[in-house]
Amino acid sequence: MNYSNQDLPSVTINQSVAILVDGNNIERSIHDITGDPQTMLNFDTLIPKLLDNRGLNRLVYFREGKQISSKLRERLHSRYHGSVRPCHKSADIPITIKATQLASKVDTIIIMSGDSDYYELVQHLKSEGVRVEIAALRRTTAACLIDAADHFHDIGADDWFTLANRRPPAPRVAAVQES
């Protein structure tokens, strides 16, 4: 039987997805490519693209250090019921723990990082029956991670924006010499 696209029966996608973000890795990759530390991920366009008609179960943004933007925290919570978790050092271990905890609760885990340290985690999650997708910048992503994943989402220039400078530089005042 031959179907045209409009004759095909509709399919309801009922998958639950968790997105785990290695904030330092993604930020560093974007900054390296753009050369601008004011460039940030645009979650409002990226998250719907990653989900592709699937349901969001959890969004957790892991970031090393205590200096985490309250605006980012509020935005992720209000738009996606997401959370931001500071990490003592790198996000590798906290993401691995969270992914292992979520493996029995979701159909798919999207890891936003290009770090090869996640290779064994991807292998483990897949052996548990979880679909694993990687979302990262292809140029800074380990080939073994792309190969191990069920799907790779290439984050590109349409997935980020650059903040405008908030304050113009202070005008330079010439020193006045007293005589």
What integer best gives the mean pLDDT of the chain? Answer: 89
Domain count, the chain: 1
Domain membership flag for residue 66:
yes
Is pLDDT above 90 for 153? yes
Q: What is the pLDDT of residue 69?
A: 82
Domain membership flag for residue 7:
no
Residue 55 lies in domain = 14-162
Domain membership flag for residue 174:
no
pLDDT digits (tens, 9 = 90+) for 116-147: 999 999 999 999 999 999 999 999 999 999 99
CATH number at residue 24: 3.40.50.1010
pLDDT digits (tens, 9 = 90+) for 23-77: 999 999 999 999 999 999 999 999 999 999 999 999 999 998 767 788 888 989 9
Is pLDDT above 70 for 4? no
Question: Helix (H, G, I), strand (E, B), or coil: what is residue 89?
Answer: coil
